């Protein structure tokens, strides 16, 4: 039976299994958040570098700039480590954590 709007086809490349689109969306959302965080950390490192250069020997400003540099580098390491750990776990368990495929009941 054709509904009021006729036959609707999925215009995206995403699978049409029930629930699969949600998990693909969440996977893409996590990747976007990690990418945005990485870009933010790089901008913070650049700004901290300018702060360090413009400190002109002032110990307090130099210390604040170094703290900002270390915090930005630590943030980059944490973001990178999360993806590396997810990849390693996925390799050993066979579960693709970064691009999950969820199996469920088939469409009628």
DSSP state of 96: -
pTM: 0.59
Q: How many helices (H) and strands (E) does the chain have?
A: 2, 0
CB 10 within 8 A of CB 16: yes
Establish if 44 belongs to a structural domain: yes
pLDDT value for 108: 47
Cβ atoms of 51 and 61 closer than 8 Å: yes
Instruction: Kindly state whether residue 86 falls inside one of the protein's structural domains.
Output: yes
Q: For residue 89, give its domain range.
A: 38-102
- Does the residue 87 lie in any domain? yes
8 Å CB contact between 62 and 52: yes
Q: Does a structural domain hold residue 21?
A: no
22 in any annotated domain: no
pLDDT of residue 12: 61
Q: Residue 24: inside a domain, yes or no?
A: no
- Helices 20-53 and 59-93: crossing angle, nearest 10°? 150
For residues 19 and 26, give the distance between their C-alpha atoms in angstroms, rounded to a whole number. Answer: 11
In a domain, 72, yes or no: yes
Q: Is residue 60 part of a domain?
A: yes
DSSP assignment, residue 106?
Answer: P
- Domains in the chain: how many in total? 1
Contact predicate 50/1, CB 8 Å: no
pLDDT at 67 (0 to 100): 92
The rounded average pLDDT for each run of 10 residues, N- to C-terminus, in the chain (108 residues) is: 68 56 72 85 89 88 90 87 83 73 55
């Amino acid at each position: 039976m054709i509904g009021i709007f006729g036959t609707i086809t999925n215009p995206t490349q995403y699978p049409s299994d029930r629930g699969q689109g949600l998990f693909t969306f969440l996977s893409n959302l996590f990747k976007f958040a990690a990418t945005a965080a990485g870009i933010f950390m790089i901008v913070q490192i650049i700004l901290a570098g300018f702060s360090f250069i413009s400190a002109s020997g002032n110990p307090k400003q130099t210390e604040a700039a170094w703290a900002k540099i270390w915090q930005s580098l630590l943030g980059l390491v944490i973001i990178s480590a999360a993806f590396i750990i997810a990849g390693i776990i996925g390799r050993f368990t066979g579960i693709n954590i970064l691009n999950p495929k969820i199996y469920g009941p088939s469409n009628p």
